[in-house]
Amino acid sequence: MSLPLQGAALDAAITSSIATLKSTFGEQAPEVAVVLGSGWSGAVDQLQDQQHLPYAQLPAFPQPKVEGHVAEITVGRVGQQRVAMLRGRAHTYESGDCTGMAGAIRSLKAWGVKVLVLTNASGSLRSHQPPGSLMLIADHINAPQRSPLTGLPGNDRFTDMSVAYDAELREQGFKIARQHNMVLTEGVYVWAVGPHFETPAEIRMFAAWGADAVGMSTVPETILARHAGLRVAGLALITNMAAGMSDEALTHALTLQQAKLSGERAAAFLGQYLASLATLASVKA
């Protein structure tokens, strides 16, 4: 994957992407956008009146090369809620640059999106969250301490991250889980760059820090979204126990296998959650 665009080139790509989004899907943007991580792709089937657009026609969007990711944006309705689903994301381990989703997120904000729901596949650091569990992200730890805002001008780069994951959106997630008798945990997500998996010693350190799940995405996107003024919700599908917590060897194939096994349930919950956001006046505001 080539390095992400920056500066004037990124600004021009965003302007072009916004124009294409509007001409394809309409001037009125969906209030909610979702980044679909591994295991969550089935959520697209929840959308009615689907329209599709490949990232290749959106110069500000990435071209992910990771198995399980489709480089396409799909727009449709879940119940009364109009939603844009991003089927693929850029990972820092692809290029070494953590700004890979900057163009996409800034394009969505400029188009008129208000809420960004980030989903991922994660490893569990807690025995009460076995593979197949769903975890609502309450907060995160940026283990590598890398920021996609590095080098930006102006004082707004000093973005407040004290409430990175919106409290009202989290409570709505628990409400839907209760209504459908689903187990939904809440925890802290720690970002590791990858692409290698963590060592058992690193996992013990992360657990001591207070992390409940670990993964290789989401945190840069959350920082970018909060900088852009978007409200953020995060959902992790637990696909494995982290290193040292089981005898199983960690591989990307294992992650995809467990994501496939649990993906239908995760997608169903996500669809119910997204539909419920139409009842929140603050999302429509």
Instruction: Give average pLDDT by consecutive 10-residue segment, the chain, 285 residues.
Output: 74 96 96 94 94 96 72 96 95 93 97 97 95 96 97 93 97 96 96 95 98 98 98 96 82 74 88 94 78
Fold of 7-284: Rossmann fold (3.40.50)
Q: Are 215 and 221 in contact (CB under 8 A)?
A: no
Binding residues for phosphate: 38, 69, 89-91, 121, 217
In the annotated binding site for a purine D-ribonucleoside, the residues are 198, 240
Calpha distance 108→274 (Å, rounded) = 17
Binding residues: 38, 69, 89-91, 121, 198, 217, 240
Q: Whose CA is closest to 283, among 103, 57, 31?
A: 31
Domain assignments of the chain as residue spans, ordered by start: 7-284
Three-state secondary structure along 21-89?
HHHHHCCCCCCEEEECCCCCHHHHHHCEEEEEEEHHHCCCCCCCCCCCCCCEEEEEEECCEEEEEEECC
